Structure 1
Amino acid sequence: MEMDFVKFRKLTQDFGRAERAFVKYDCLTVFDKFLLINHGDVLVANPGIEIIAHMETPSLPPSISEDKLQAYHSTTLYKSTIDTGLRFVDMAKEGPNWDGLLKWSIAHSDGTGTARKLSEDDRKWFMEAMQAQTIDVVKRMKEITLVMQTPDNILEEQGVTSTDLEGMLDELQDHVESIDMANDLHSIGGLTPLLNYLKSSHANIRAKAAEVVSTIVQNNPKSQQLVMDANGMEPLLSNFTSDDDVTSRTKALGAISSLIRHNRPGIQAFRLSNGYAALRDALSSESVRFQRKALNLIQYLLQENPSDCSVVTELGFPRILRHLAGSEDAEVREGALSGLHELAKVESSVVEKDDEKFKQVLQDRINDISMMSLEDLAAVREERQLVDSLWTAYYNEPSSLREKGLVVLPEDEDDAQKPPPDVASKVFESPLRPPSSNDEKSKSDKKETPLLLGP
């Protein structure tokens, strides 16, 4: 497939942020490493990095001359590069296709060729090409912090839109996926202005800021404490309970969930702020995604704090959960059943044997499950067990699922006996690239996005 980089750039722009998937899924590294090892006889101008560069700007990196680029374009390897690059863009939409990448690598390496050693000039040129695309993450975060600290009216005068700011926050989220970078954001003065963005007049900025906060505090006790100390819970709760935009409400709830998990002071602050009442209201939303997040947090809180079951019962959760148990959405349905199961283990008062409506809901699920194929049964393993447990708790008898042998299948037992997945051997494999001491190096393939402030 013949295609120049300008056309490739336009194509990838149609796919939105496809270029980020190259780095996120590490396809870029695998691809470049393969080319470098198996095609040492061709002067490879790091095709992946060229593609990344040309998606941001049509100009060449200083280290890549037009002559070298034209010479490279004349090779069959270039055409193969573009064809593979396009497949990587598809992977950006659907996730990495590792099997496809392996087959491609095998097809292009029969083991009979002898790769020559790169000369010092070629090696130097190659490293310069890579370094031309390397960014200093801390420096970049400081630049983003400067923008976040700039008053809205000045940004508007410079033509900066809310969409531009959302893209900037999207980049910041990539950087703070590293726990060290997440903790450093406070040190460079970026945490407070980020939390201020939760109060933005633009819903997309409020939503994206909450998403970045969620990334920062997830499984990160230090940043959880920093956000709590900066009073970050207050704007998150405000957006969760009263934002007009349901996406902003959903993202705020996701950030709260990440903030209070394994964080006792955070849970206490949530409880004292009438968090359970807010979760109850969220369950009445028409947004399925909002309901899912609320149900997940409810289940976690009840598992961590069984004594809260009485509070939840007094707030009327059982009735709402019984209603949601009949939802058409599988995740909402399972979340509601899980919540009822947690309550039934502690609060006997939630078991209303005379609730014929709920009995019919359970019976309908039993009927549907009984007619499923083995493949579909495997997908509803948790739901099968929850339905049976709740039927037993409510009606003091096993459900017909148990009589039919559908609560625990032989396949379920086989899965339970399987050894745990091997997660250690990869640690001892030869790395595809040299290990880096700084997390920011993991982002080194990314092309710097121009900031929007003038001099």
Structure 2
Amino acid sequence: MAGDRLSWSGLLKWSLSYADGTRPSRAISEEERRWLAEAVERHMMVDVVSRMREIALLMSTPLSVLEAHGITPDDIEGLLAELQVHVESIDMANDLHSVGGLVPVIKYLRNSNARIRARAADVVTTVVQNNPTSQQLVMEASGFDPLLSNFTSDPDLTARIKALGALSSLIRNNKPGVSAFRLANGYAGLRDALTSESARFQRKALNLTNYLLSESHSDCSVFAQLGFPRLMMHLVSSDDLGVREAALGGLLELARDTTLGSRSLLADHDRLRWLLQARIERIRMMAPEDLDAAREERQLVDSLWITCYHEPSTLHVEGLLVLPGEECFEQPPDVAGRFFEPLRRSSARRAPSNERSDPGDGTGGGMMLLLGPSPGSRSNSGE
């Protein structure tokens, strides 16, 4: 049965024959259950692909024709939202191009309606995220250029933010994408985004900046020449925790740069020392719940201080770097312990108390026999 290809109506008829109320229901065999599951999965997949093809056909239709048939911008936005749900599956995302839907989505990135441009960028983000195949397809379909244009110059802030999110997903772990972003002066666009009054835009720009810095330390000097250290230092005092953490992370990447020899890009900045001291003072004044939320910020402040000034920050001395109860997060979980516990107990019952007190002599500690001699000890055969 598993190889049969039935229509959905046939499948429904088959299912109802076992639950029509005219006879007692019987248990479905494992083979029938497997066939039913496969039939449903086949139908669902075909149905989704068919629906994606329908949406692609509508989006490929000239706007004047759509308007003549009463299709509004809200309807188009709704189609894009539905399409985004369908392409959350990586298989469906890779099928978007084959059903003719990728090129129309990229076309809508240039639509006159800002909401449609933003929604199209959302679809691209979902399609390319952690998906090298679709990243390449979008690059080949010339999707990079409208995304970069919207990111750097779209008059609508939401469309700019969405375009940046799509670009970030498009070029991550994608060397041709990173090269294209660099050659298109995308770094200057990131710098401009840091001057925005939108914390969300700043966070996204900082996160992509930090990724680029971590992937190519040779670009640290370029970011420094473009004024990123000064902007990041300004954002260290942001009211938004995510912006502060991302700014500190970017400064830490720049401070660790070794392309200029032994001289750090940031070590001689008195302003940075003053800003870090100010952050430490704010951390001192935080309520316990705020301290807990700012755990990463505390770690970044201390790491940046050590990198720039070669000594621990006062967060160490005052016990504010690691709060009571946070130490447990540093220890890996004891996954294997429960398997060895019965062996420990049986060994403890068999061994005399004086042998248990010296687990390193190889006579009474069952675990030590399994692990071999302790580091630095000499084996009996070597004496």
What TM bracket, shorter-length normalisation?
Answer: 0.7 to 0.9
* 8 Å CA contact retained: 1:353, 1:395: no
Deviation at 1:157, TM superposition (A): 1.2
Give the equivalent residue in structure 2 for 1:221. 132
Taking the TM superposition and a 5 Å limit, the aligned residue runs for 1:8-19 are none
Unaligned runs of 5+ in 1: 1-60, 63-115, 121-126, 423-455
What SS is found at the alignment partner of 2:256? Answer: helix
Aligned residues: 305
For the structure 1 residues 265 and 420, does the alpha-carbon distance in structure 2 shift closer, same or farther, using more than 3 Å as the test? Answer: farther
CA displacement, residues 384-421 of structure 1 (integer Å, 9 cap, x when unaligned): 01111223344444221111122233533311214299
CA separation of 1:365 and 1:420: change in aligned 2, threshold 3 A: farther
| Structure 1 residue 118 displacement after superposition | 7.0
Matched to 2:273, the amino acid is K
Distance apart, 1:162 and its partner CA = 1.2
Identity of aligned residues (%): 60
Q: Which residue matches 1:383?
A: 297
Question: Which amino acid in 2 is paired with 1:377?
Answer: L
Pick the aligned partner of 1:149 from 60, 64, 79.
60
In structure 1, what is the Cα distance between the partners aligned to 2:200 and 2:285?
28
Matched, 1:311 2:222: yes
Question: Over aligned residue pairs, what C-alpha RMSD do you find?
Answer: 3.0
CA contact 1:353–1:394 (8 Å) conserved in 2? no
Change (3 A) 1:420 1:295: farther
Whole-Å separation in 2 of the counterparts to 1:359 and 1:345 = 16
Give the partner amino acid of 2:316. R
Question: Structure 1's 375 and 420: CA in aligned 2 closer, same or farther, altered over 3 A?
Answer: farther
Q: Deviations over 1:316-372 (max 9, x none)?
A: 1000000000000000111111100000000613333332xx434322321222233
Q: Is 1:353 the counterpart of 2:265 in the alignment?
A: no
1:321 aligned residue (232, 236, 241)? 232
Corresponding position: 1:417 with 2:331: yes
User: What amino acid is the match of 2:200?
Assistant: R
Question: What is the CA–CA distance in structure 1 between the aligned matches of 2:184 and 2:147, rounded to whole Å?
Answer: 11
> Structure 2: how far apart are the matches of 1:223 and 1:182?
7
Q: Given that residues 254 and 265 in structure 2 are in contact (C-alpha distance below 8 angstroms), is that contact kept between their aligned partners in structure 1?
A: no
The yes-or-no answer on 1:366 pairing with 2:277 is no
Q: 1:406 aligns with which of 303, 313, 320?
A: 320
CA distance in 2, matches of 1:349, 1:292: 22
Distance 1:381 1:189, change over 3 A: same
Secondary structure of 1:199's match? coil
- For the residues of structure 2 that align with 1:188 and 1:340, how far apart are their CA atoms? 45
The answer on whether the counterparts of 2:109 and 2:118 sit within 8 Å (CA) in structure 1 is: yes
Alignment pair present for 1:208 and 2:119:
yes
Structure having the higher Rg: 2
1:117, distance to aligned residue in structure 2 (A) = 5.3
For structure 2, the residue ranges without an aligned partner over 5 or more in a row are 1-11, 14-23, 29-35, 337-383
Say whether the 8 Å CA contact 1:313–1:350 is kept in structure 2.
Answer: no
Aligned partner of 1:177 among 81, 85, 88:
88
Partner of residue 183, structure 2: 272
**3-state SS, counterpart of residue 269 of structure 2:** coil
Amino acid at match of 2:317: E
Secondary structure (helix, strand or coil) at the match of 1:285 reads: coil
1:241 is the counterpart of 2:157: no
